[in-house]
Chain A
Amino acid sequence: MSGGRNGYMPGRMVVKGVNEATSVGAASDRRPVDLGVVAVAAVVVAAAVLRPVLERLLDRPAVAHWATVFVAIAVQAMPFLVLGVTISAAVAALVPAGFLPRVLPRRPALAVPVAAAAGAALPGCECGSVPIAGRLVAHGALPGAALAFLLSAPAINPVVLTATAVAFPGRPEVVVARLLASLLAATVVGLVWVRTGRDDLLARARRRRDDGGPPLAVLVATAQRDLLQAGGLLIVGAATAATLQTVVPRSVLDAVAGAGPLAFVAMAGLAVVLAICSEADAFVAASLTQFSLSAKLAFMVVGPMVDVKLVALQAGTFGRGFALRFAPLTLAVAMASSAVIGWWLL
């Protein structure tokens, strides 16, 4: 697999070559290799030793509930994360740098809505779209457009819209409202981003260069790195969501549900803290019978765009400074968009 590294380079290697460090002097004295592997083994052994303690903890219902929800979010997200990471790695390995900016529309007024609509083509939920958007930015796509894609993809793809139709039987206007409100929010956020021009905040993602080497080696190396990074951040988000689900009692929900505009804000907030996969959030929204349809729409529009695990993923991919500005902006726009569309259609 690594045979091509030193000698033969396939023809596509024109633009790369930043870190073509050849691996001649293998097996030097420094061996961080073994240290890391030993550390992983140590963690696993330590967990094995502590097993009785863990088992006793799981006898407590609250802890068991937390652990099940935590593991469930992580397990559920893995296939989608793997899909997103694979597509991202395939772009890194197969698409030459500089290709995307050449073929994508340049004018923001066109590029952003097109990118938002293109989100419909990626079947999956939000975890997969973050690494893909990161790769698009690294390859020189207009950041506002990549962000519009990032926001719309998990909300408007056919899988999610079908799930929404199933969750709200006999109410096709809910599906239409979700599609329109999500597209609108993604486009507005993308255009606002183009206008304010804080692309410097994306420096981290833009600096990323694809590794050099044969495509297959690049694919594996990129997938490995993205998988660990996105996977680790997903764990942060899953733990946060599980904690909130375990400690927030239902009476709080019931109390705010009846309170008009407060209910609307509460549903948006709930979407942020519950961090439910966009393929499932329609069912959860439908089950929150205390709330109005507009409030449920806010839940379904905000959830795929801003939630605790997504913010963690975005901070890791694009940088913390970016996430600190992008998340509040997106939250505000998504809420406004669902208020307008909800008032119009529902």
Chain B
Amino acid sequence: MTPAGGLISLLVGTVLLRLVLTGTYGRYVRPGMGPWLAVAGVAVLVVGLVTLLQALRHANPEDAHDHHRHGGGDRVGWLLLAPIAALLLVAPPTLGSYGVDRGARVDIRAGTGVLDPLVAGAEPIPMTLLEFGQRAFDRDGASFGAAAVRLTGFVAGAEAGGFRLARYQIACCAADAAPVVVRVVGGRRVPARDRWVTVTGEFRPGGSELPELAATNVVEIPAPDDPYE
């Protein structure tokens, strides 16, 4: 399958480079992987191109030998067409609320000591859901003071008096994603599930299982390019 194999490699390389150029790779892996994906994409593309050109130039008998020597082992390469087809046509979306209750949550108690107090200013302080959770855990939210904060995440279902706001942490790729969940109370209306929102408000102490944010403002936004924290 040398020429077809070359074509498959060519497609794999193209898809990788396309993921990097469009920024879509942020849905699947962490942003730092971009350059490595580009390098891998170029390498695979070149190997595929050279193989294809060579095979087309001389359809030589060596190919037939190759085929016999490796038996059916090479045929498995065709499976690469599955993700290629998926990515060329319909890039699967960012992870949504479906996985929030299916995997383990992030442990917000890990690695926190006593956190520096926030300084309340004119603008609400943007922070990750993880930091919000850690501050809520640290001395029951004492470090928040009177500061207003701004959180960005997706809606993971309605709850009594509000909704759950979630965002995934990833270490390498979406397969190891673990969500941080915050309960938002006091928003006027609950946005649709999986809709991305920016919530402004203040920490509310006394939340039982989840850290709580008393919202003053909830704005729907388009899904961000870097959907994971």
**Is the CB of B167 closer than 8 A to any CB of chain A?**
no
Pairwise interchain contact B63-A32, C-beta atoms closer than 8 A: yes
Nearest CB in chain B: distance from A283 CB, A:
4
How many Å lie between the Cα of A281 and that of B6 in the bound state? 33
Question: Which one of B21-29, B198-206, B214-222 is at the interface?
Answer: B21-29
**Is the CB of A110 closer than 8 A to any CB of chain B?**
no
Write the chain B residue with the least CB distance to A278: B172
Residues of A within 8 A of B92 (CB): 58, 64, 67-68, 70-71
Pairwise interchain contact A250-B96, C-beta atoms closer than 8 A: no
15 contacts between A and B (CB under 8 A): A44-B81, A58-B92, A67-B92, A68-B28, A68-B92, A70-B83, A70-B86, A75-B28, A76-B28, A232-B75, A250-B102, A280-B173, A283-B176, A287-B105, A287-B178
Nearest CB in chain A: distance from B131 CB, A:
15
How many Å lie between the Cα of A249 and that of B102 in the bound state? 5
Of A43, A64, A67, A242, which contacts B175 at CB under 8 A? A242
Nearest CB in chain B: distance from A36 CB, A:
3
Residues of B within 8 A of A225 (CB): 5, 66, 70, 74
Of A241, A253, A287, which contacts B107 at CB under 8 A? A287
Pairwise interchain contact B173-A73, C-beta atoms closer than 8 A: yes
For chain A, what secondary structure do more than half of its interface residues adopt (helix, strand, loop), or is it mixed? helix
How many Å lie between the Cα of A36 and that of B75 in the bound state? 11
Residues of B within 8 A of A47 (CB): 85-86, 88-89
Nearest CB in chain B: distance from A108 CB, A:
29
Pairwise interchain contact A2-B54, C-beta atoms closer than 8 A: yes
Pairwise interchain contact B48-A37, C-beta atoms closer than 8 A: no
Identify the interface centre among B12, B77, B96, B101: most chain A CB within 10 Å of its CB. B77
Complex interface bits, A286-302 against B, C-beta within 8 A gives 1, otherwise 0: 11111000000000000
**Is the CB of A87 closer than 8 A to any CB of chain B?**
no
Residues of B within 8 A of A32 (CB): 1, 63-64, 67
Residues on B facing A (Cβ under 8 Å): 1-9, 11-12, 16, 19, 25, 27-29, 33, 36-37, 39-41, 43-44, 47-48, 50-51, 54-67, 69-70, 73-99, 101-107, 110-111, 169-176, 178, 194
Residues of A within 8 A of B176 (CB): 276-277, 280-281, 283-284
Residues of B within 8 A of A72 (CB): 27-29, 173-175
Nearest CB in chain B: distance from A290 CB, A:
8
Pairwise interchain contact B28-A71, C-beta atoms closer than 8 A: yes
A26-B58, A79-B39, A287-B105 known; A235-B83 Cβ under 8 A: yes
Write the chain B residue with the least CB distance to A27: B59
Residues of B within 8 A of A286 (CB): 107, 110
**Is the CB of A48 closer than 8 A to any CB of chain B?**
yes
Pairwise interchain contact B47-A227, C-beta atoms closer than 8 A: yes
A33-B55, A36-B3, A51-B90 known; A250-B104 Cβ under 8 A: yes
Pairwise interchain contact A232-B93, C-beta atoms closer than 8 A: no
Residues of B within 8 A of A73 (CB): 173, 175
Complex interface bits, A231-272 against B, C-beta within 8 A gives 1, otherwise 0: 111011011011001101110010000000000000000000
Identify the interface centre among A39, A41, A163: most chain B CB within 10 Å of its CB. A39
How many Å lie between the Cα of A31 and that of B95 in the bound state? 45
Residues of A within 8 A of B25 (CB): 75
